[in-house]
Amino acid sequence: MKRVFSGIQPSGELHLGNYLGAIRNWVEMQHSADAFFCVVDLHALTIPKESGEVGAASLRLSQLLMACGLDPHVCTMFVQSHVREHTELAWLMECHVSFGELSRMTQFKDKSAQQKDFISAGLFTYPALQAADILLYDTDEVPVGADQRQHIEITRDIAERFNGRYGETFVLPEAVIPQAGARVMDLQEPTNKMSKSLESPRGTVDLLDPPEVVVKKIKSAETDSDTEVRFDFETKPGVSNLLSILAAATQRDPNEIAGDYEMYGPLKADAADAVVEMLTPIQARFTELEADPAETARLLEFGADKAQEIAAATVKRAKANLGLLAN
């Protein structure tokens, strides 16, 4: 059975783009692969946080992931900082990636531009920790959005360099970019990816938004000046985004759905109804989990124990191949 790994930061609320583009695919993958899903709390520290903020967000995110359908008894689900081998292997990765390679990472350029007062070194070396996250578990496939492909490529480069110098140590992972539902854009700015943004809060549907809020956001989505319903992100991004969301929510083809509509109003109404129907059981399950944080903590500890057993073996192999003095 192939091994898959993916991680998600505990920053901001999970939104519709997260769910349709990644998490729903994770839920399916846990039944067909040896799946490892990680709340990457250490990555969240690259941007300054208040004490306790990341811990609380990690618990909440874990509960929401479980509410979406991740089952800790089926997949291996854990918090990154609970497995110390992530930081230990990260240093070995930093020593095998060049300054130039890190300088070319698009995410660092984008995020550092937003942090004018303080740019942490961790933001720059972020890809080395991410490489460690993936390589620790002999990962075959990493389900990611298209914007993360560069991170998988640099992970492969680091692993190949290490293997070339010290012998076969790491499995080379492949990026897997889901087709259906992978492209969910901001409802108000449909040329931009949906994200938690203060500039456009009406453009993001959070998974815990009440039904009336979901309906209002989708019905006020930006479309076009004409009334033609056609799936074409290049010329009709707003309409195409609505078709993409409705298609993902109903598991249909967006081009096929486009033929059902002649006006935007009915399309918006149907998309809103489909999203509300999809989110209702998730919200109900989250309420149950939120009421019992001790059980969530127990499940995360169970996952961390499973993960650490594999991670420790990988670090031991890497150290041995490097020829470090054994203790």
* Residue type present at position 75: C
Calpha distance 163→24 (Å, rounded) = 34
With beta carbons less than 8 A apart as the criterion, state whether 138 and 312 touch. no
Phi-psi region of 28 (alpha: psi -120 to 50; beta: other; left: phi over 0): alpha
Tokens of 284: 């109900």
Calpha distance 227→274 (Å, rounded) = 21
49, 111, 219, 306: the catalytic one is 111
**CB atoms near residue 149 (< 10 Å):** 12
49, 193, 219, 306: the catalytic one is 193
Calpha distance 234→68 (Å, rounded) = 31
Could you tell me which residues are beta bridge partners of residue 78? Answer: 38
Burial class (CB in 10 A: 0-12, 13-18, 19+), 228: middle
**CB atoms near residue 295 (< 10 Å):** 13
Is residue 196 flagged as an active site residue?
A: yes
2, 109, 116, 196: the catalytic one is 196
Question: What radius of gyration do the chain's Cα atoms show?
Answer: 21
* Residue type present at position 202: R
By 3-state DSSP, what share of the chain in percent is helix, strand and coil, each rounded to 5? 55, 10, 35
Is residue 111 flagged as an active site residue?
A: yes
- Long-range contact set of residues 285-288: C-beta below 8 Å, sequence gap at least 24: 285/66, 285/67, 286/63, 286/64, 286/67, 286/207, 286/208
Q: Any idea what DSSP says for residue 33?
A: S
Closest CA to 139 of 164, 106, 88, 175: 175
Active site residues: 111, 193, 196
